[in-house]
Structure 1
Amino acid sequence: MINLPIAAYLHIPFCRRRCFYCDFPISVVGDRLRGDQSGMIRQYVDAICQEIAATPVLGPALQTVFFGGGTPSLLSPNQLDRILQTLDRRFGIAATAEISIEMDPASFDRSQAIATRQLGFNRVSIGAQAFQDGLLERCGRTHRRADIDRAVADLRAAGFENLSLDLISGLPEQTLADWQASLEAAIALEPTHLSAYDLVLEPETVFGKRYQPGDRPLPADEQTAVMYRLAHRTLEAAGFEHYEISNYARSGFQCRHNRVYWQDQSFYGFGVGATSALQGQRFGRPRRRADYFIWLETPGAIAAACAPVTSDPADALAETLMLGLRLAEGLDWTALEQPFGAEILRSLQPVIQRYQQAGWLQWQGDRLSLTQPEGMLFSNQVLASLFERLEAIATV
C-alpha cells in the first residue's frame, strides 16, 4: 500500500567489536577510535548526509527518526547534530517527533548523554541484552552489569524520560533463573519500554558457526518457550503492555517509529544496509561500506530507490499480514478488502479457522490478531501457513 513517508531510519554501522550473535552490516573500529577521531566515521557521516540531501522529498515533516546500528553513540555530538540538521533541512522534523538513538551501555558517559539530549534526541534504546556478566562475556559484549546501571543513571540525569532496554533470551548456557533475574533487574531500572528478543542463530555469526539449533549449551526449544511465557507474565504483571511480539511498553510509550514498520507505512532509509519503503518499493542499500559509496555515486541510483512500483497483490498482502499480525491489536480485516479484494481474503479463511481452533488466532470484531502469549509464540507457524495459502492461490 502506497502512503506518504513520515519516518526516517539511519544506519550507523560502527561497533567496537562484533557481538557473537550479530549479522548486521557493521564495521569494527576497536576500543580507541570513535567519532571525530576516526577518518572512517568522518567519511561515512559525509556519505549519509550526501544521501539524505539527494533524496526526493515525498511526504510531510518527519514524525519519527531512528538512529540504529551498530553503535550510533560512537559518533560525536557534532556528527549526530550534522546528520539531524541535514535531515531537518531536507525533510523537516516535526516539533513533536520521536527521535530515537541506540546506545551501548559502555559507549558513552554522562557528558555525552547530556549533549545527546540537548541535540533533540528524546528516546534512547539501551542494548542491555543480559544482566549476568558471564552471559555478556559469552556473547562478546563489551559492557557489564555495572555499565547498564551507570548508563541508565546518566541518561536519567541528562533528562531522558523515554528509555528502552533490549534483552535476549535463549543465549548459550542461559538458565530460566538467569532470564527471570534479567527481567527483574530490567524492571527495577524503571524503563518505559522493554524489548525481549529470542536468540536467532544467523549462519555467518560466531554463534551460527559454533552452535546448531537445539544443541547444548543452547536452551532447548521447550525452555525458550517457557522463557517467552515468563517474559509475558512477568512484564505484564509489572504494568507493561505486551503490544508487539517482542515488545512491551508502559502506557503512552510504545515505539512510534517501529509502529511505522508494523503498520506497513512508508519510510526513508539511509546508510549501509538500510531499507526504505517508498511508493510501493522496498529497497535495501549495499551492506558493505565500499559498495555503498559506489552506489551513492552511481547516477540515478538514489532516484531509482525512490521510484514508484506496483507490487504483486499476493506479495503485498503477505507483507501486510507479516507486519500487522505482530501487533497485539492485529489487522482490521475489512480495511484490507479495498486494496486486496474480498476474494483473496476469503481464500485465507480455512487457515484462519484452523488456528482459531488451536487458540492462536482470534477475531475481535473485524480485527484479526494473534492470541497472547501462545499465538505470538507460534506466530512463525501461523504466518508460514498463511503464506503457503497465498502462494498456492498465486499459482492457480
Structure 2
Amino acid sequence: MPTQGNPIATSAYIHIPFCRRRCFYCDFPISVLGDRVRGEESAMIREYLGYLHQEICRSPCQASPLTTIFFGGGTPSLLSPAQVAAILDLLQKCMGIDPQAEISLEVDPGTFSRSQLRGYAQAGVNRLSLGVQAFQDPLLQVCGRSHQRSDIDKAAADIHEAGFENWSLDLISGLPGQTLDHWQESLNQAIALEPRHISAYDLVVEPVTVFGKRYQPDVPPLPSHDLASAMYQMAHDTLTSAGFDHYEISNYGQPGYHCRHNQVYWRNQPYYGFGMGATSYLGQRRLSRPRTRQAYYAWVDHLPQNLEECPVDSQSDRWLETLMLGLRLAEGLSLDALRQEFPAPWINQLIKAAQPHITAGHLYFEGDRLALRVTEGFLVSNSIILSLWNSQA
C-alpha cells in the first residue's frame, strides 16, 4: 500500500531515440538514421524496440492503469503505426491504460503521411506534438532542421484532416539571427494553424551541441538578454490575446487542452520512464537509463535489479525538485500540500524568504498558494528559485 509521500505512478514516458539528423541545438540521447530510413525498414529501430519491449515487460509495475503516455524523442513519427500500436498493446497488458488516458506522440514535419496519422489514431494516440521551431526557412536551416516551411503547412493540414483535435505546436525563441519580426511572424503563423496548445521555448545553448561550439549566450548572432526578454513578453501577449492560457513558463494551452502528462513532471509526481536515456521516478527513486543504445541494451539485461540499487531521494532533494518544478506552473505551490510532506520550519522559512520577491512584484500569495507572477516572475524564475533554495541552508 503506497503512503501519502509515495503515490502510485500513472504516467509513462516512452523514448524513441531516432532522428533523420541531429539538430544543432540538441543534446538529447538519439541515433541518427539519415533522411530515408523509416521504422519497419530499419534493423536498428527493430532491435531497439525489442529491448524496449523487454524493459516494459520486466519492470516492476504498480497496479494502477496509466492515465497519460508520452512518446518522445528523437522523432517518434519515424515509427510505423503498427510499431506504436505494439508498444501500447504491451503497456495495456502489463499496466493497463485508462480509457480516458491522454496518449501523446511527438511528430516532425516531413516525417509522416495523413494515412500514418490515422494509423496512430487507430492505435490509441489522441494527442500530437508537432516540432516546428520556426516558420522561416533560413532559421530552420540555421538550426539544422530537416524540414522546410512548406512541410509545416502540409503537416498541419494532415493533422486536421486525420481528425486530431488535440495537438500542440513547438516554437523556439532566441535563435541565431532571429529578430522580433521573425518571432512575431512565427507566433502569428502558429496561431493560424489552429493548434490547441503551443510550447514556446527559449533557446538553451548546451556545451556539447553544434550551437555550443559556435555561439555564446548573449553574444551576437544570439539575441541579447533584453531581446530574449522582449520575445518572451511578445509570446505571452500574443498567445494569451488569442485565447491561450499561459499555464506554465514555456507552455500555453486553450482551456481544457493543457498537457496532462507534462503536469505530472511539474508537480513532481511519480512516473515511469522507458527507453534509452529515459528517467523514471518511482518510490522516490530517480533512475536514468544509459544514453547510448549498446549500454542501454546491457542495462536491460540486468533488470529489475537496476531500480532496487538506485538510492531514494533525500528529503532535501525532493524539496528542491518540488520548488523548482512547482513554481514553473502558473498555479504555483500549495502550502497545504507542502506541509503534508515537508517539515513545518521549511514552510515557514519559505514564506519568509518569499517576502522580498512579493514586494518586488515577482511572487504572490493567493489563498494557500505561492506562485510566480505572469510574466514578471516567470522572466526571473531561475534567480528566484535559487534564492528560495539558498534561504533553506
Short-chain TM bin: over 0.9
Alpha-carbon distance, 1:28 to partner: 0.1
Does the aligned pair in 1 maintain the 2:53–2:87 contact within 8 Å?
A: yes
* 1:295 alignment counterpart: 299
2:224 and 2:43 map into 1 onto residues whose CA distance is 45
Mapping of 1:298-317 within 5 angstroms? Answer: 298=302, 301-305=303-307, 310-317=312-319
Alpha-carbon distance, 1:302 to partner: 2.9
1:235 and 1:12 map into 2 onto residues whose CA distance is 30
Partner SS, residue 304 of structure 2: helix
* 1:276 alignment counterpart: 280
* 2:327 alignment counterpart: 325
2:305 and 2:111 map into 1 onto residues whose CA distance is 36
**Structure 1 116/306 Cα, relative in aligned 2: closer, same or farther at 3 Å?**
farther
Provide, for residues 29-76 of structure 1, a one-character-per-residue CA deviation record: whole Å limited to 9, x for no partner: 001111111110000010101000001121410000000000000011
* Identical aligned residues as a percent: 55
**Which one of 182, 187, 197 corresponds to residue 186 of structure 2?**
182
Alpha-carbon distance, 1:358 to partner: 1.4
* 2:353 alignment counterpart: 351
* 2:80 alignment counterpart: 76
Alpha-carbon distance, 1:139 to partner: 0.3
Does the aligned pair in 1 maintain the 2:286–2:313 contact within 8 Å?
A: no
Alpha-carbon distance, 1:150 to partner: 0.6
Mapping of 1:1-396 within 5 angstroms? Answer: 1-298=5-302, 301-305=303-307, 310-390=312-392, 392=393
1:166 and 1:195 map into 2 onto residues whose CA distance is 5
- Partner amino acid, structure 2, of 1:222: D
1:135 and 1:345 map into 2 onto residues whose CA distance is 45
Provide, for residues 335-394 of structure 1, a one-character-per-residue CA deviation record: whole Å limited to 9, x for no partner: 21121111111122332011111111100011000000010111101111122223x2xx
**Structure 1 367/183 Cα, relative in aligned 2: closer, same or farther at 3 Å?**
same
- Partner amino acid, structure 2, of 1:379: S
2:313 and 2:280 map into 1 onto residues whose CA distance is 15
Alpha-carbon distance, 1:113 to partner: 1.2
Aligned length: 389
1:341 and 1:120 map into 2 onto residues whose CA distance is 43
Structure 1: runs of 5 or more not aligned: none
- Partner amino acid, structure 2, of 1:23: D
- Partner amino acid, structure 2, of 1:145: R
Does the aligned pair in 2 maintain the 1:279–1:308 contact within 8 Å?
A: no
The range that moved more, 31-40 or 172-181, is 31-40
Does the aligned pair in 2 maintain the 1:65–1:100 contact within 8 Å?
A: yes
The range that moved more, 23-32 or 334-343, is 334-343
1:39 and 1:310 map into 2 onto residues whose CA distance is 37
Q: State TM-score, norm by structure 1.
A: 0.96
Does the aligned pair in 2 maintain the 1:114–1:158 contact within 8 Å?
A: yes
Provide, for residues 195-221 of structure 1, a one-character-per-residue CA deviation record: whole Å limited to 9, x for no partner: 000000000000001001111000101
1:231 and 1:313 map into 2 onto residues whose CA distance is 36
Alpha-carbon distance, 1:166 to partner: 0.2
Does the aligned pair in 1 maintain the 2:286–2:310 contact within 8 Å?
A: no
Alpha-carbon distance, 1:190 to partner: 0.8
The root-mean-square deviation of aligned C-alpha atoms, in Å, is 1.2
2:355 and 2:217 map into 1 onto residues whose CA distance is 31
- Partner amino acid, structure 2, of 1:266: P
Structure 2: runs of 5 or more not aligned: none
2:36 and 2:147 map into 1 onto residues whose CA distance is 15
1:59 and 1:364 map into 2 onto residues whose CA distance is 36
